Structures are given as C-alpha cells and as structure tokens.
Amino acid sequence: MTERPPHGTARPGGRTARTREAVLAAALEELGVHGYAALTVDRIAQRSGVHAATIRRRWRSVQGVIIDLLAQHSGSLPTPDTGDLRQDLHELARAIADYHASPRSRNFIEATIVAAAHNPQVSDIVRDAFTARTEQVTCIVTRAVARGELSPDVDAREVIAALSAPFYYRLLVLRGTADDRLVHTSAEAAYHAARGGVFVPPPSGP
Amino acid sequence: MTERPPHGTARPGGRTARTREAVLAAALEELGVHGYAALTVDRIAQRSGVHAATIRRRWRSVQGVIIDLLAQHSGSLPTPDTGDLRQDLHELARAIADYHASPRSRNFIEATIVAAAHNPQVSDIVRDAFTARTEQVTCIVTRAVARGELSPDVDAREVIAALSAPFYYRLLVLRGTADDRLVHTSAEAAYHAARGGVFVPPPSGP
C-alpha cells in the first residue's frame, strides 16, 4: 500500500480501477439520494464499502471525488448526426434534457457548481470540462456549414452554448426541471438565431 | 433587546434598519473580497461592527443573510422602454452584463446558488426571487405585443428567460464573465427567436 499508483495508471479492471468505480458510483448514488449538502467521505465510504482512509488518501476530500466524477462524465454527451442542423439541435437538446431528468445528474451538476464556487482549482476544472464537452459537439455546426446551412464564419461554440444555456438556467437559477417545451424552445431559438446570422462574429480590422 | 421586531416592521432609518443595512453591506463586501467559501457570521460581524450574537439572533446563519440580500436585490433590475423590442432586449442584456461585471455581484449570485443547493427552503426563495424579477421585465414583451411586433400568444417569460440564460451559463458553468459579444448574441438570439415565433406555445386542445 506504500506504492500507490496515480489515477489511471493501474491496469484496467484491477483493484485500483474497481475501487474507483465503487467510490464514484457510491458518490453519485449519495448525490441522488441526499444531495450535495449531505455528501461526506464517510457516507461515500459506507455506501461503497471502501475504507474512508483509502478515499481520503486517494481523493483527499469530497471535492476530489467530484472532480474525478467530472472526468468520468465528460465525453458522455452523444453527438447527433441526422444530416439536418435543426434536427441535430433538437436531438442534442433532448439529450441534455434526458441527462438532467435524473435527480442524480441534477445533484451532480449542482455539486460541481458548488465545488467550483468553493475552490478556484475546481472552478478551472469545471470550466475546462464544460468547454471540452461543448467543443465535442461543435461538429453539429461544422457539418451544417459543410452542407451550406450556415455561414462558414459562424462561431460553433456560441451556437452550442446558446442551446445549452437554458437548461442550466432552468436547473440552477429557476430551480426547475427540463421539459419537452424547454427542449423545443432551446433548440428552435438556437436554430433561428444561427440561421439569422447571430453567431457570426463581426469582421475584425486588419 | 427582548422585544425584537420582525424584519421591515421597525421604522425606516431606525436602529433596526441601520443594523440591517450595515450587515447586508458587510456581507456583500465580504463576498466581493473573499467569496462565499470564506463567508462567516464572524467576518460579517467584524466588517459591519454589529455583534455576531446580534447577527445570529436576527439572521440565524450566513444563509439567512444571503436570503435577506436576495430580498434587497430583487427589484433592482431596470426595465428598458425605448419603444422598440430589439433595442429593449439589448438594453436589458446590457443591464444584466453590467450587474454581472462586479465581482461582488458575481459572488453574490454564486452564493445564492450555493445556498439553494444546500437548503430546499433557500432553493424556493431563489426560484421565487428570480421568477419575480423575470415577471417584472415581461412588460418589455407585452409592450412589443401592443405595438404589433410580436404575436399576442407569445410567452413573455420564455422570452426573458431566453435572454437571461446565457449570462448565468457563462457565469456559473463556463466560469467566465459577460462581455459585449455576449450582450449582443443573447439579445439578438432572443429577438430572432421571438420574432420567429419560437415562444408562442402550441395550441392546446379544448
């Protein structure tokens, strides 16, 4: 136990990987049942069957576990490819709504925002994780450009951010859950704005 | 000191009002300088010159102070009335950006979201406060309807939420600050979507 490998270097499926899976799954369960406010290393230990001392040694704190959960979750967003921008945006909005539909996911998102508010390092990690997720799905926009649906000058990240923002506003600020209506309006609003040229940056001087 | 009037019942400008002002101002200052993570009743006491025991008796906790700050802040959003929907939306976006420009406001918003995550009662209060603020500025939309710029069936709250969401997404999720570009895109996107009929609910059955 004195030679502790850093995250991800142990062989997959080995004890280190199994421990990580158990701890992250337990943390997510706890978030779903009791929320972030009640999340402690001891509760994660109890639910996962992994010793609290082991969790503290490897993740240091609840925040460390949240950061690792974020790493595990990023990349889980599907990227629609229907051959039609409008349809792609609707499917992406649906995927976000489906993800937000589970209390576990909602509590996890809220936990990351809370952890970010408490810690500048976590804040950077949250920003990087969401920026990377946005980047992943920008190919929806680049494909639409290739098909001639949008101007080549369009800022793809702005389109994706415009579609995503209403879901986080609903969740974090209006304290509600996403519904079919929000899927419709967020996808349609992003589509109309994109087609209307809103996300084409102004020409910059030489 | 045993006959403690509830909030807002003491005469304006009296000792109760002065104490409240000092405590809320100190809390906001602390949020601006050290952020929510470092906010304690003792720090508020130190900065305001009001005894910690007095703060605990009246507001019970840091969360109680945040709730009172929220009550003080709601209603501070101006409502543009330029006679033109597009211009009104741009001015509203500018007002939100200006508010988010100060670290004090950003930390305050973040503090309310964190407090809401920790406490269902605070969550309800945050939801009500933001819903009320949204309601306040919906007259931008109803005036546009009266001028014939939008369909009478438009959901005014959806328009305002669409305009506001990108600012909270930028702040809370992307961990960045609002800039001129965000003012432009959020106002234009809301305008294009509203004009495109996105926020008109589908006709419901009899």
Indicate the average pLDDT of chain A. 88
Percent of chain A whose predicted confidence (pLDDT) is above 90 = 58
User: Quick one: A54 and A134 in the same domain?
Assistant: no
Domain assignment present for residue A94? The answer is yes
Domain assignment present for residue A159? The answer is yes
Which residues of chain B have a CB within 8 Å of the CB of A162?
166, 185, 189
Domain assignment present for residue A1? The answer is no
**pLDDT beyond 80 at A66:** yes
CATH code, domain carrying B182: 1.10.357.10
User: Quick one: B183 and B109 in the same domain?
Assistant: yes
Confidence of residue A178 (pLDDT cuts 50, 70, 90): very high
The pLDDT value recorded for residue A76 is 66
The pLDDT value recorded for residue A11 is 56
* CA A194 to chain centroid: 23
Q: In angstroms, what CA-CA distances link B116 with A133, A139, B63, B110?
A: 26, 35, 9, 10
The pLDDT value recorded for residue B184 is 98
Q: What is the ipTM of this complex?
A: 0.84
Model confidence pLDDT, tens digit, residues B153-190:
999 999 999 999 999 999 999 999 999 999 999 999 99
Q: Which residue's structure tokens are 């959806």?
A: B158
The pLDDT value recorded for residue B4 is 45
Q: What residue in A sits closest to B124 (Cα-Cα)? A: A175
Considering its fold, how many domains does chain B have in total?
A: 2
**pLDDT beyond 60 at A64:** yes
User: Quick one: B83 and B155 in the same domain?
Assistant: yes
Model confidence pLDDT, tens digit, residues B26-53:
998 887 777 777 789 999 999 999 999 9
Cβ–Cβ below 8 Å for A118 and B36 = yes
Cβ pair A184, A97 in contact under 8 A:
no
Q: Which residue's structure tokens are 């969550």?
A: B123
Q: What residue in B sits closest to A193 (Cα-Cα)? A: B189
User: Quick one: A58 and A145 in the same domain?
Assistant: no
To the nearest whole Å, the CA of A188 is away from the closest chain B CA by 6
Domain assignment present for residue A5? The answer is no
Cβ pair A153, A98 in contact under 8 A:
no
User: Quick one: B120 and B163 in the same domain?
Assistant: yes
Tokens (6 digits) for B114: 């964190």
The pLDDT value recorded for residue B74 is 65
User: Quick one: B78 and B38 in the same domain?
Assistant: no
User: Quick one: B79 and B137 in the same domain?
Assistant: yes
Q: What's the domain range around B33?
A: 15-62
